[in-house]
């Protein structure tokens, strides 16, 4: 019995000793307390990087600060030229003194990094000397905010294979180009390229490409063949939010044939799982174009503003499955809801305002049939008497529903055709020939005063309207565009 006890005690002692040794060794790898390093225009790279002995260049700081220990590099007032492409270590904070005070020229690369913040800096392409502002790959837990990008040749931000990150409060100007040739040829670039992202928010971003042309936001995928990108696998977007955007792009030549509108935001060849685009302002097209798929993709587009009439855009290309398009305000442009492909399903368009859209189609222009197309509780206000509201070029499906809408023509003429014949019920027509079951024709008595679109298009209290149109009398006023409230 004693021998057994001694063996137990010896075993216990050995285990405790090993455990104590592991604890002691693990203490050797505990990160030191995070430090703050300084870069100043009047500093020296022979300095210590302290506040009293700052470095002169950002390059020196990025080479010297250890990664993944939560250290911060504070960059002071002035202009700092990287001289080319420079990598940022993982797990640091690169903080400027303010967008108008700290200017970094060159391209920074965030590759395989995590737990990183970059803020309060203006990145400058040195009068289009540098092609790209920020290149991000295989990263997570990033906070990229309070930045400006200006004068890059091709692109401000190129981001792919990133998760659990936020990119916000960004201004991008004159960092794209468009040299498309009417009739074909030429190229163009985009301000932000994004692809294969999970749990990433893009918000409070201003993009202006009108100086040299180009797209606002475009999808990318490193795996796409250069000559045939459509033959590669779709880029995948999971739990992506794009909101409080203000995107202004040039007018024409998205594809170089002389008349196609420019893309403000183009999600192309993608699969979107639980994505949202909302509270944003666009002066041209948002394109949601992917190949039909059996995957459970979903995307919601809501509380946005498209404005014309100088840009002859189509508001939204709905060439994807499972799209909910609601509480948007489209002013001007042509065929605001467009589809140029086939075999798509579940497109739900409700509670939108379509105002003064133009030829050739005033609301929906569909090349292929749509399985389960719903157009419900929308307000269409036009001043044009020759074109149809809908064009279903290859016909309509039996499960289509167009109901509870207000179709109002202020021109006083009745030449317009609805352009649809399936599932038409309980709609109000003003100066448009009534069609469908339970069709109505009377004055809805819109307020025509107050903020647009609501309460401007809200019926007055004495209106006969009941559950018709986008804005119901007595309901909460809703707004659209950047910084709007839902």
pLDDT band at 310 (very low <50, low <70, confident <90, very high): low
Beta strands in 231-336 (DSSP E): 235-248, 263-268, 270-273, 275-278, 281-282, 285-289, 299-302, 305-307, 316-319, 323-326, 329-331
- DSSP label at 207? E
3-state secondary structure of 332: coil
Q: What is the CA radius of gyration of the chain?
A: 28
3-state secondary structure of 6: helix
- DSSP label at 229? G
Q: State both tokens at 43.
A: 């500093």
pLDDT band at 3 (very low <50, low <70, confident <90, very high): very low
pLDDT tens per residue across span 66-104: 999 999 999 999 999 999 999 999 999 999 999 999 999
Q: State both tokens at 256.
A: 């170089």
The CA angle 161-209-226, to the nearest 5 degrees, is 45
pLDDT of 9 reads 40
Around Cβ 198, how many Cβ atoms within 10 Å?
Answer: 16
Mean pLDDT of the chain: 91
pLDDT of 359 reads 85
**CA-CA distance, 290 to 198, in Å (whole number)?**
18
What's the predicted TM-score (pTM) here? 0.91
3-state percent breakdown (helix, strand, coil) of the chain, nearest 5: 5, 45, 50
The full set of domain ranges for the chain reads: 1-28, 68-430
**CA-CA distance, 169 to 146, in Å (whole number)?**
5
Residue 309 near residue 356, CB atoms below 8 Å: yes
Q: Which fold is adopted by the domain 68-430?
A: Pectate Lyase C-like (2.160.20)
Helices (H), 96-164: none
Residue 173 near residue 213, CB atoms below 8 Å: no
């Amino acid at each position: 019995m004693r021998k057994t006890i001694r063996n137990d005690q010896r075993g216990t002692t050995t285990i405790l000793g090993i455990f104590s040794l592991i604890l002691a060794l693990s203490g050797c790898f505990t990160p030191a307390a995070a430090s703050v390093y300084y870069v100043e225009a009047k500093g020296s790279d022979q300095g210590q990087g302290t506040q009293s002995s700052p470095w002169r260049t950002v390059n020196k700081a990025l080479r010297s600060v250890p990664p993944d220990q939560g250290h911060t590099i504070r960059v002071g007032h002035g202009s700092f030229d990287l001289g080319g492409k420079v990598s940022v270590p993982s797990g640091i904070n690169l903080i400027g003194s303010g967008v108008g005070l700290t200017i970094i020229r060159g391209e920074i690369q965030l590759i395989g990094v995590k737990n990183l913040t970059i803020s309060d800096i203006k990145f400058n392409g040195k009068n289009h000397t540098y092609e790209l502002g920020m290149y991000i790959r295989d990263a997570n837990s990033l906070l990229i905010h309070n930045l400006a990008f200006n004068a890059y040749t091709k692109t401000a931000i190129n981001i792919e294979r990133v998760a659990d990150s936020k990119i916000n409060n960004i201004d991008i100007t004159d960092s794209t180009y468009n040299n498309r040739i009417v009739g074909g040829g030429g190229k163009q670039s985009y301000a932000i390229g994004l692809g294969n992202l999970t749990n990433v928010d893009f918000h409070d971003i201003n993009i202006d490409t009108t100086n040299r042309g180009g797209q606002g936001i475009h999808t990318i995928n490193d795996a796409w063949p250069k000559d045939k990108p459509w033959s590669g696998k779709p880029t995948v977007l999971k739990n992506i939010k794009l909101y409080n955007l203000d995107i202004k792009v040039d007018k024409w030549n998205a594809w170089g044939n002389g008349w196609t509108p420019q893309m403000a935001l183009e999600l192309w060849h993608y699969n979107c799982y639980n994505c949202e685009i909302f509270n944003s302002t666009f002066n041209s097209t948002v394109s949601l174009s992917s190949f039909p798929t059996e995957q459970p993709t979903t995307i919601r587009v809501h509380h946005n503003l498209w404005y014309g009439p100088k840009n002859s855009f189509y508001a939204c290309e709905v060439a994807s499955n499972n799209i909910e398009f609601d509480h948007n305000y489209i002013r001007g442009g042509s065929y605001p809801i467009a589809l140029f492909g086939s075999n798509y399903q579940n497109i739900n368009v409700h509670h939108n305002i379509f105002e003064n859209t133009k030829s050739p189609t005033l609301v929906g222009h569909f090349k292929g049939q749509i399985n389960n197309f719903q157009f419900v509780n929308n307000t269409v206000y036009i001043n044009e008497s020759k074109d149809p509201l809908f064009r279903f070029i290859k016909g309509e499906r039996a499960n289509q529903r167009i109901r509870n809408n207000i179709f109002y023509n202020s021109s006083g003429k009745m030449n317009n055709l609805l352009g649809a014949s399936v599932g038409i019920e309980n709609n109000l027509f003003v100066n448009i020939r009534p069609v469908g079951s339970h069709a109505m024709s009377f004055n809805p008595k819109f307020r025509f005063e107050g903020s647009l679109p609501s309460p401007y298009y809200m019926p007055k209290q004495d209106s006969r309207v009941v559950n018709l149109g986008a804005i119901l009398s007595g309901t909460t006023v809703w707004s659209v565009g950047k910084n709007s409230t839902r």
